[in-house]
Structure 1
């Protein structure tokens, strides 16, 4: 077998592989001898069909099988011998066919085209200076949460028949809704409970019940919103014949041991501890996200000149842009993006794709050098956690992951990233800064701006030299499927687990559609 490197531009490589006809003929003869004992042909005793006859009858077919096996096998040998770490699946361009090889005695030729992983030195984690925001849980925060819990468990006492309904009271009502005198589906209810001022029913309904007493008949006139879910009701005026059966006033809910027992806890102290523990977990998660964002920003800036595999960037961008187009079609694009041209949007999202690929490569390389690995036990826990999200379908979920390597990779990637972040945090210079809760949870600079900053600092029109062959020895491990970032919401947190370049994209920048209302006075 002869292998020649036809092209080496940047990270792109093209190899021409030639397998001599003599080698193929030898392989064919060996294959025929292997199958000859099993060949059954009319006119010949079992296993006694002449080699020449088998070659004449089945040579082309057998040669086709040989070539089918030869191409991937030879491709792997070429990559292994040259210690090449591919950044994408090699593209194979076969220049010969079985007939030419078999009948014409020609050599078999094909080309291997691929991009290789870039060779670069990662920044030393010890040089990173990070500021970790820390917000202690305040007593006022726990007290506020207790008040909210008390509000949620609020009970109501029946008022006297002469008592008028006021804001915050609960009324028990029957109603029939009519449009142009005709009752409509979904507009009728009995013993419906409504807290006035809760916003539970469509605008204008609740206010008209203020002042009503038990036993009163009230005609409530409203207009259905123009964006009402039931299109046949949207924008129409309706009248609801409403019978007030009972008026109830809010009863005082005490913050005491009884409140705690409503939530399955022994006493008020246990409830306070539970709330404080929940807040501490939230604060720790937010603090980690903040410091992790600093890590990603510094890594992105420190490796701005790393040459990126075009295929990986294009794949990441395609995943992002597909979701952007979907957001455009649905009218869910962020307000700040609505007046931008398609070229402007593509430029911004391509910068995000480049940032995510770059960070994926850097994190993968740092993890590889630090021997970071994801154990089977960690993967099994992740699969089980995912299965628990689908009660009653746990077995199907587990089977799905067991049969789909790419699905397993989507669970492995974020675990791997978090372990690399842990490794960096152990070595980096991390100082703590005490902040309040509001500061801890305030939004970060969006990913577009972060990507733009790195793009500005990247040397213009400067390409990194191709890595020398004798320096290309790398363990393919984690970087063969470098955990390039998933396409996340443009304004959202970008650090929710780096993903394989083969992973599906999350939905990008898109505001949620307004909540739609049912065909009844109730709101969703």
Structure 2
């Protein structure tokens, strides 16, 4: 058996071989003898089945097994020649050629390897930046907003026109095409004007209305409204204002701090101010990281750290992008691609650059995480999914099981690793004001 092995680059290799007919025959003979020891064939005692009968009974299956064993031998010897360990392989070997004739089989097997990544002095690629500054006025405003959010509502004594921020206590009933519709009626409903709780335009038309007044409000349901029978329809609401409420005034002092910092009996306004300022700084820093610094830093690494990419992984990424694109295509468009391989290949190539960037970024993050000793355990992934599920009112356990069954847990874990490692690198470059 002739084997020729060649490393294409640091992440791809090809193993070519000529498997002679006698190798296949020898493998087939060996497999048939082993099978004869255990096969149960009517008319013969177990272990006493003649080889000729085994060959006749299992025929093509024996040939396939013999060829598969020869391929495994080709792969094993080829990897040994290339000094490639099984641990460094990525994905399954790809048989790119299998030309079978009477006396031999010409084969070519492509393998992908985990690339060797030289990170170099990656810390020097990170630019220093100023920590976001939160003014005292911004902190005072936030504390006031927090205080007002907890303040109780009270009826206003003077019957004035309503304005943005007031809470209207209303009776209403909605009509579409002159007919009342289900769920469009309520009494003494408390609606804060400007909250965006109702259909766009509804709250605006209550501004300027006084207590005990009755008005008609005309709006249009959004095209994507959840109730399909109302989506995009024009509606008229009869509304009566029963009362107007505003937030009661709250004194901003140490007593407020104790309410807003439960468990801290000695809480003071000064301590509350410190904590609110820290929270606001973290919010601004998080926004800066996610909107600007992290994407820019990853692009810098992708552009500045060069290594060979496994073709197999890039092709997988292209296939995923192609499948996603197909979901938005019409059946006629998909049929055109099925019938025209050149057009399909041309479309595939439009995704190659983004796929290469994505694969390169993934390997870089993996290497950086190892260098920075950043890990995300499965328990941490579970806690993150649980928290997000609770935030959106879902069952945490069911949400986790859905991620698990869909095979999305590794992607979530990788995303968390990326977030952690980029944050850790950026944290080292913060300049205090």
Q: Same fold, TM exceeding 0.5?
A: yes
Q: Are positions 1:385 and 2:384 aligned together?
A: yes
The aligned runs of 1:165-314 (5 Å cut-off) are: 165-167=161-163, 168-179=165-176, 181-201=178-198, 202-203=200-201, 206-208=204-206, 210-213=208-211, 216-224=212-220, 227=223, 229=225, 238-260=235-257, 263=260, 265=262, 266=264, 267-269=267-269, 271-283=272-284, 285=286, 292-293=294-295, 295-303=297-305, 306=307, 308-309=309-310, 312-313=313-314
Contact 2:7–2:82 (8 Å) recurs in 1: no
Contact 2:221–2:235 (8 Å) recurs in 1: no
Moved more, 183-192 or 236-245: 236-245
Q: Are positions 1:150 and 2:142 aligned together?
A: no
Contact 2:162–2:244 (8 Å) recurs in 1: no
The separation in 1 between residues aligned to 2:180 and 2:216, in whole angstroms, is 14
Q: Secondary structure at the match of 1:95?
A: strand
Q: Secondary structure at the match of 2:45?
A: coil
Q: Secondary structure at the match of 2:250?
A: coil
Q: Secondary structure at the match of 2:210?
A: coil
Partner of 2:138: 141
The separation in 2 between residues aligned to 1:28 and 1:52, in whole angstroms, is 12
The separation in 1 between residues aligned to 2:232 and 2:401, in whole angstroms, is 49
Structure of higher RCO (CA pairs closer than 8 Å, 6+ residues apart): 1
> Deviation of residue 16 (structure 1)?
2.0
> Deviation of residue 143 (structure 1)?
1.8
The separation in 2 between residues aligned to 1:257 and 1:206, in whole angstroms, is 37
> Deviation of residue 190 (structure 1)?
1.2
The separation in 2 between residues aligned to 1:401 and 1:226, in whole angstroms, is 32
Partner of 2:159: 163
Quickly say closer, same or farther: Cα 1:87–1:298, change in 2 above 3 A: same
The separation in 2 between residues aligned to 1:208 and 1:300, in whole angstroms, is 54
Quickly say closer, same or farther: Cα 1:193–1:294, change in 2 above 3 A: closer
Q: Are positions 1:90 and 2:93 aligned together?
A: yes
RMSD: 4.5
The separation in 2 between residues aligned to 1:238 and 1:398, in whole angstroms, is 41
Quickly say closer, same or farther: Cα 1:420–1:95, change in 2 above 3 A: same
Quickly say closer, same or farther: Cα 1:396–1:211, change in 2 above 3 A: closer
Q: Secondary structure at the match of 2:52?
A: helix
Contact 1:260–1:271 (8 Å) recurs in 2: yes
> Deviation of residue 381 (structure 1)?
2.4
Tell me the TM-score normalised to structure 1 length.
0.61
> Deviation of residue 172 (structure 1)?
1.7
Contact 2:12–2:110 (8 Å) recurs in 1: yes
> Deviation of residue 235 (structure 1)?
6.8
- Render the CA deviation track for 1:429-470: whole Å, top value 9, x for unaligned: x654346xxxxxxxxxxxxxxxxxxxxxxxxxxxxxxxxxxx
Q: Are positions 1:124 and 2:126 aligned together?
A: no
Quickly say closer, same or farther: Cα 1:191–1:131, change in 2 above 3 A: same
The separation in 1 between residues aligned to 2:304 and 2:283, in whole angstroms, is 30
> Deviation of residue 146 (structure 1)?
0.8
Contact 1:131–1:291 (8 Å) recurs in 2: no
The separation in 2 between residues aligned to 1:347 and 1:58, in whole angstroms, is 44
The separation in 2 between residues aligned to 1:371 and 1:244, in whole angstroms, is 62
> Deviation of residue 46 (structure 1)?
2.9
> Deviation of residue 26 (structure 1)?
3.6
- Render the CA deviation track for 1:332-361: whole Å, top value 9, x for unaligned: xxxxxxxxxxxxx99997654443333334
Quickly say closer, same or farther: Cα 1:29–1:374, change in 2 above 3 A: farther
Contact 1:134–1:287 (8 Å) recurs in 2: no
Contact 1:177–1:183 (8 Å) recurs in 2: yes
Quickly say closer, same or farther: Cα 1:127–1:203, change in 2 above 3 A: closer
Contact 2:5–2:81 (8 Å) recurs in 1: no
> Deviation of residue 12 (structure 1)?
6.0
Q: How many pairs are equivalent?
A: 403
Contact 1:384–1:398 (8 Å) recurs in 2: no
The separation in 1 between residues aligned to 2:385 and 2:91, in whole angstroms, is 28
The separation in 1 between residues aligned to 2:201 and 2:207, in whole angstroms, is 12
> Deviation of residue 271 (structure 1)?
4.0
Contact 1:130–1:291 (8 Å) recurs in 2: no
The aligned runs of 1:479-498 (5 Å cut-off) are: none
Q: Are positions 1:433 and 2:418 aligned together?
A: no
Quickly say closer, same or farther: Cα 1:157–1:372, change in 2 above 3 A: closer
Partner of 1:71: 71
